[in-house]
Structure 1
Amino acid sequence: MTLYDDQTIQDLEAKAKTIRCHAIKMIYAAKSGHPGGSLSAADLITALFFKIMKHDPNNPHWEERDKFVLSKGHAAPSYYAALAECGYFPIDELLTLRKVDSNLQGHPCRQKTRGVEVSTGSLGQGLSMANGLALAAKLDRSGSRIYCICGDGELQEGQNWEAAMLAAQYKLDNLTLFIDRNKLQIDGPTEQVMSLEPLADKWLAFGWNLIEINGHDMRQILEACDKAKETTGKPTVIIANTIKGKGVSFMEGAIGFHGKAPNEDEYKIALKELGDCA
């Protein structure tokens, strides 16, 4: 397992703050979007795109690239911000989020956005698509790894558990699933809407390698990805315990910001809390 120095961690933490700043600016400009889940997933997305995954913005279809599926497609602002910061398209384009004819729709669309592997947004389907990519890589004897981020609320969809069975059946050890466990969904706390616990035991029972981390601890995220790479014969699920709206005090743990843009005063406060990002 790689030993990550403090400077690497600090650089990634700074990048995650930039991703959060972009997400807030995009959603404010669009006057619509999903800040809560975008902010909770920002550290996971940052770790993947800026350290863990093999990918090339100058050659998006490089055959040996790792592939990413954002099953919780409403967190697209953080995804788009990472793609722009990597160089897939100009950063200025981020402020076109959700506008008519924009390449950056409310949910990821592979036909429109450079760097997006699969179109997502219909919850509960991302893991199935990730399975297909992982199985294809196995059949092609490719070294590509597949990464997927699911929201915890969408695990209430039965298709996920069919996909969980398939991944274990075909020993997809090139697949890593992150669960953004922020414990909130549009209708309220997950445990009140449709309880997921004991969540870890479920994945173990389905035959997956299980890792549980603090989803805002960059070192833990990186080390969990390394452990997943070292695991053979089974897929890995990383339960990332997160906070909805992480990084903006009045959004943290606030169900109201699942799908609501900040007003002007809230926007200014959010940017100030994130460090007056440029």
Structure 2
Amino acid sequence: MHSDVAQARSLNTSELEEMATRIRRSIVEMLEKAGSGHSAGPLGMADILTALYFRILRHDPQNPDWDERDIFLLSNGHTVPVLYAAMAHSGYFPVEELDTLRRFGSRLQGHPERTSLPGLESTSGPLGSGLSQGAGYAHVLQHIDRDPHRFVYVMMGDGELNEGNIWEAAMYAGKYRLRQLIGIVDRNYIQIDGSTEEVMPLEDLRGKWESFGWHVLEIDGHSMQAILDAVGTAKAVSHKPTVIIAHTVPGKGVPFMEYDHRWHGKPPNRAEAEEALAGLPLDAKAEA
């Protein structure tokens, strides 16, 4: 990807915030049309995915298999509406195709399926697998290809950290000092059955990651500048992997969904979608 292509896709902070609103609107619309799917997590992760796809990642939607691209893995695959929306708005496929979410034969399945859509790096259904996949990618980049310029980003849910596979991968990445591996935890404190701290307490999450040999950053997952700064710091860490614990609001931008675990795996109906969209206005100048 030439630098002019990268620059054309790189948005400033206010433009990123506007794009995040656009992505949230797409999430609401596609879930309502699908009649099934997950609402709270995708809405809460919209700022992070916007920052990644429109500012951080080295990628080229016109050449998804570009040899010099960064790798993004969505480990908590049920939140895939936010990934589809980010990919569509950045040019991987037409935005209109978002309306086919979860339909029979659609490329946009309820969990990402790698071979069905160019630009998807992995298939993720069972929780807990993404960090192992990311550690494998990063090990090859760092210790076999010896390519220091590419990074592997793994998005995880906090409820997903109940999976033991996550901590096996964390131990592996710490041992091999995989500096090109950057984990991001969507710390929204909910999972399908309720609060993470009631279902299975994560307690000292920072301390857990540090004990496995990771550099840990904690941020407001809705602050674009904080997201950009954290990734910049993570890329500068030269001797260990980094995890960014991003504190987010589940259902962010839709007040009747915010902080309510019942929206973890429920889509809005038509009336609820209209109410949600009314609260997610786009800048009039951006629409002109």
Query: Quick check: TM above 0.5?
Result: yes
Q: 1:160 aligns with which of 166, 176, 179?
A: 166
For residues 58-116 of structure 1, the C-alpha deviation after alignment (integer angstroms, 9 at most, x for no partner) is 11111110010011101111100111111111111010000000000001111101210
Q: Which moved more, 1:81-90 or 1:137-146?
A: 137-146
**2:3 aligned residue:** none
Counterpart Cα distance in 2 of 1:131 and 1:140: 14
Matched, 1:181 2:221: no
TM-superposed deviation, 1:265: 1.2
TM-superposed deviation, 1:263: 1.4
Q: 2:275 aligns with which of 229, 246, 269?
A: 269
Alignment check: 8 A CA contact 2:18 2:282 kept = no
TM-score (norm 1): 0.96
Measured on the aligned residues, the alpha-carbon RMSD in Å equals 1.1
**1:4 aligned residue:** none
Counterpart Cα distance in 1 of 2:237 and 2:106: 40
Alignment check: 8 A CA contact 2:21 2:282 kept = no
Matched, 1:258 2:264: yes
Q: 1:200 aligns with which of 206, 218, 227?
A: 206
Q: 1:219 aligns with which of 225, 229, 249?
A: 225
**1:103 aligned residue:** 107
Counterpart Cα distance in 1 of 2:113 and 2:167: 25
How does 1:87-102 map onto structure 2 within 5 Å?
Answer: 87-102=91-106
State the AA in 1 paired with 2:215: N
**2:146 aligned residue:** 141
Matched, 1:39 2:43: yes
State the AA in 2 paired with 1:165: M
For residues 8-43 of structure 1, the C-alpha deviation after alignment (integer angstroms, 9 at most, x for no partner) is 111101111111111111100000010101011111
Aligned-residue sequence identity (percent) comes to: 50
State the AA in 1 paired with 2:29: K
**1:57 aligned residue:** 61
Counterpart Cα distance in 2 of 1:122 and 1:45: 21
Counterpart Cα distance in 1 of 2:234 and 2:248: 19
Counterpart Cα distance in 2 of 1:263 and 1:257: 12
TM-score (norm 2): 0.93
Structure 2 counterpart SS, 1:81:
helix
> Segments of 4+ in structure 1 off by > 2 A?
none
Structure 2 counterpart SS, 1:111:
helix
